[in-house]
Each structure stands twice: as C-alpha cells, then as structure tokens.
Amino acid sequence: MSKGRCILKNDRFGLTMRRLAQQLVEDHGDLSQACIIGLQPRGILFSDRIVEILTQEHRLKNIRYGQLDITFYRDDFRRRDKPIAASETKMDFLVEDLNVILVDDVLYTGRTVQAALSALQDYGRAQNVQLMALVDRRFNRHLPIQADYKGLMIDSMDEAYVKVCWSGIDKQDEIIMYPRQKTQSS
C-alpha cells in the first residue's frame, strides 16, 4: 500500500476517545439503561477502549458490553465462495428496552451498520439505537445512516482508504488516509 497521510495521532487520538466517552456519560449517565456493542472485527478495538475509559476514568461499573459479529447479516456474504464468520458474537444479555450504542471504527457506506441492526434484532427490541464512529466518511453513504457520536469527519474520495491504527496492535494510535490505489487500467 502506498504512503498514507496521518490525519490524527497519539495525543489528539486520546483526546478524541475521551471526548466520545464523556459524551456517552452526558447523554446516558451511569449507562444503567444502556449497553455498548462493538462491531466485529475493528469496532471491537474502539469499543474496548471506550469501555476502558468509562470504567477507569469515569468509574462506571457494570457496563453491559457486547461484541457482535455481523458476517451472516451482510448483504454481500452470499457472494463469497465460503462465507466464514470473521469473529464470534459475545453478548450475554438482551437489548430489550435498552438504549443501544453500536460502536464501529469507520462509518463508510452504512452497510455494516445495516447488517448490525438486523443482527441486533436477535437480541430483543431496543428502546433506541445510536451509532458511535471514530471516523465518519460522510460523503460515501449508500444508505441513510448517520453517526450520533463522531470522533472525526473526513471528506474523501470514494476510492480512498481510511485505516485506524491501534497501539496494542499497530505501532501507535493514529488514523491514516491512503490515496486511491492505481490499477493496471488506470
């Protein structure tokens, strides 16, 4: 992959994470009537960090936290030769009458969120559902879906690629935007 441009790193990355956690506390108090659900695979890295901030810095206890694999709810999974679940769903609670906060790293076309909403129905009827995205690529939506909590909004060409890097896996916390990849026909 060609050299990308860093659009958010280290200190500002951490401030953005803490701001998003603070917004949840402002809107949902102790989260006793809410739950946080990270979308597998990359949304889990983001939701883990948000839950960590909520428990350590805001001293919230007993947060309902789940991890949802939406592989078999995607509208494109039948197009693959062998659809294999990316990860496993880890939810030991129902969302019945709860305020659900879906968490994903990048909101792009909206198709992942659509699949998550379908998968979420297997766990009951939520009071309402909100979306938290670390990166909102607002001009690339295929579906009428928007984030309620946004870390960063990016206006980029459809062909660009946005990657969120996490210090536990990658070298450091940062968001990088890569330009469109040239193909043989370009």
Q: Residue 99 maps to which CATH number?
A: 3.40.50.2020
Looking at residue 75, its pLDDT comes to 58
Strand partners, 103: 38, 132
Q: How far apart are the C-alpha atoms of 112 and 98, rounded to whole Å?
A: 21
Instruction: Judge whether 127 lies within some domain.
Output: yes
Query: By the 8 A CB rule, do 68 and 89 touch?
Result: yes
Confidence band of 42 (pLDDT split at 50, 70, 90) = confident
**Helix or strand holding residue 34 (H, E):** strand 34-39
What CA–CA distance (Å, rounded) separates 106 from 109?
9
Q: Averaged over 129-155, what is the pLDDT?
A: 91
Its domain, for residue 32, covers 12-159
Task: Give the pLDDT confidence score for residue 73 in this predicted structure.
Answer: 80
SS3 102: strand
Asked if residue 183 belongs to a domain, the reply is no
**Per-residue model confidence (pLDDT) at position 59:** 97
Question: Two tokens at 114?
Answer: 């659509």
> Whole-prediction pTM value?
0.88
Number of domains in the chain: 1
Residues 121-131 have a mean pLDDT of 96
List pLDDT tens digits, range 150-173: 999 988 666 788 899 999 888 899
In angstroms, rounded to a whole number, what is the distance separating the alpha carbons of residues 123 and 28? Answer: 21
pLDDT, residue 186, reads 34
Q: Is residue 120 part of a domain?
A: yes
Specify if 23 maps to a domain.
yes
Asked whether the beta carbons of 40 and 115 are under 8 A apart, the reply is no
Q: Is residue 5 part of a domain?
A: no
Q: What percent of the chain has pLDDT above 70? A: 87
Whole-number pLDDT of residue 81: 62
